[in-house]
Amino acid sequence: MIEPSQVRRKIAIPLISPRRAAGTLRHRSVHRAALASFVFVASAASVCFADTQVGATLPPAPSVLYGDLFVAVQTAQIYPDQKTFVDATPNADPAAIVQLYEQQKNNPGFSLASFVNQYFTPPSEPVITPPANQTLREHINWLWPALTRTTTSAPPNSSLIPLPKPYVVPGGRFREGYYWDTWFTMLGLQEAGREDLVDNMLDNFAYEIDTFGHIPNGNRTYYLDRSQPPFFSYMVTLAAKVEGGKVYQKYLPALRKEYAYWMQGADSTKPGDATRNVVVMPDHTVLNRYWDELDTPRDESYLEDVKTAQQATGRSPNEVYRELRATAESGWDFSSRWFGDNMTLATVRTTSIIPVDLNSLMFHLETTIARGCGETRDVRCVGEFAERAAKRAMGINRYLWNAKGYYGDYDWQLAKPRENKTAAMLYPLFVGAAWPERARKTARQVQSTLLQPGGLVTTTYNTTQQWDAPNGWAPLHWIAVEGLKRYGHDALAQQIGTRFLADVKGVYASDRKLVEKYVVEGAGTGGGGGGEYPLQDGFGWTNGVTLKLLDLYSPGE
């Protein structure tokens, strides 16, 4: 048997850029080809095993780094959660581990589980034990340090991407920072007087935009091929509330670079076609969709994606994988909102859908860039982005208004509105792109179809997916409250906010924790379910929104 230390002296692994790593993975056959390029013997070669530092070239994603070993581990479900292996740290050089696996896998009595336990260290699961008798507010403020991470370096060949400043993670299985989660977390941090963390996370995102050209889904190598709902402009606006207009000027280059990422191909795409995140409508209106660079199973959900593709009759696996990945970029993974038949994950068609939330956020990004250009007295830029925002608002009200009385998504390939009534209908109100009469009609639809005893239900379909009934989510409640208040529907906003707050209080009273999502139908007093993983505790965005709702509707608590 060859010891890892013996192999380590002979094997070198070329580290590759995140962009190249994202483009390397295509099919399992490519895994083998990639493996051949990663593993080579060079007697004179030396290998550096130092930690990955901020700014260093990153290793490939685990699916590329381990090839067939990765497929074997995820298929065998060595860990109950597919995310565990891709967050694990190798105990030896990855090429050495792969070579040992190839040598041993066909031996009598070979145990894949024992092999993985020997050569990988799974991520630690910190136990958070709060003091007794904390109020809800005290508990949230106590949690901030427990959820804060400083990772200016990462273990060798870890999937973790180092960041220059401290940041807050959601909690539970989510051991890294997440893009759209962070804005809702920042709301609470600012309420708690932690402007330092707000600024730190803004700097981290600006660093990621500068380094990768966009903000990844999360700071893991396997998230680099996609982004998430673009809330960076809202983060800048949040900081500017305290720190003034200089914040717009400071982050203007990052805002413009993120906008360029989302708008790639806008100038070269023909009407009626799409390129990456851009869709150009027949009348030349430019809108956006969710997209992912890859068409392979997600590293963190490999087996789930393979099974979904097997259930998708008449569709190529790669088509399904692209759709699943695009849905992960939406943050609503998964929901009837993206399904062709409104019920079945295997009918997912996210890239065919122009989402009302994404285009509302792009409207805010355009207006924020105009504001930043105003701070720098760049009159031409102000005019350009004010015009872009105006055209976006017209596009929202043309294509993302359903004649039945609410804002919603549009299927650009079928050239018709989606009929799903979802909590995303409130985004045009939230960003100020809604027409007043349409805002009133949307509020009426929310009250009649989505309002439940425990708050706002995410959709009207119960599919066992987590972004469907009976679940409600903190971020969507804050979008609703702010959007309705903006258009003068304060009573409905208060109904939604206080009902959800009561739900959060109920779970905290019984379980002494905040969770990722809640059941809002029926009694509305329990943690939510469904989806690919168990209910997670923590929880960053619930903490942030709860503090805002407490200050708004229960200031004495």
Q: Binding site: which residues?
A: 173, 180-181, 217, 226-228, 331, 532
Beta carbons within 10 angstroms of residue 419's beta carbon: 12
CA distance 552 to 557: 11
Give SS3 for 252. Answer: helix
- Binding-site residues for substrate sit at 173, 180-181, 217, 226-228, 331, 532
CA distance 61 to 16: 10
DSSP state, 549?
H
Q: What one-character DSSP code corresponds to residue 59?
A: P
For residues 405 and 348, give the distance between their C-alpha atoms in angstroms, rounded to a whole number: 25
DSSP H or E segment with residue 278: strand 278-280
Task: Report the C-alpha gap between 550 and 189 in whole angstroms.
Answer: 14
Burial level of 195, CB count in 10 A (0-12/13-18/19+)? middle
Question: What whole-number distance in Å separates Cα of residue 164 and Cα of residue 2?
Answer: 39
- Residues listed for the chain: 557
Question: Is residue 551 among the annotated active site residues?
Answer: no
Active-site pick, 333, 357, 366, 468: 333
User: Is 516 a known active-site residue?
Assistant: yes
Number of helices (H) and strands (E) in the chain: give both, helices first: 22, 21
Distances in whole angstroms, Cα of residue 99 to Cα of each of 49, 74, 383:
18, 18, 59
DSSP, residue by residue, 435-493: -HHHHHHHHHHIIIIIEETTEE-SBS---S-TTSTTEE-HHHHHHHHHHHHHTT-HHHH
Structure tokens belonging to residue 365: 């990004």
Angle at 550 between CA 547 and CA 555, to 5 degrees: 125
Q: Which of these, 125, 196, 168, lies nearest to 540 by C-alpha position?
A: 168
Of 304, 357, 516, 537, the catalytic one is 516
d(CA 228, CA 261): 12
**Cα distances (angstroms) measured from residue 250 to each of 101, 207, 212, 371:** 50, 13, 19, 12
List the catalytic residues. 333, 516
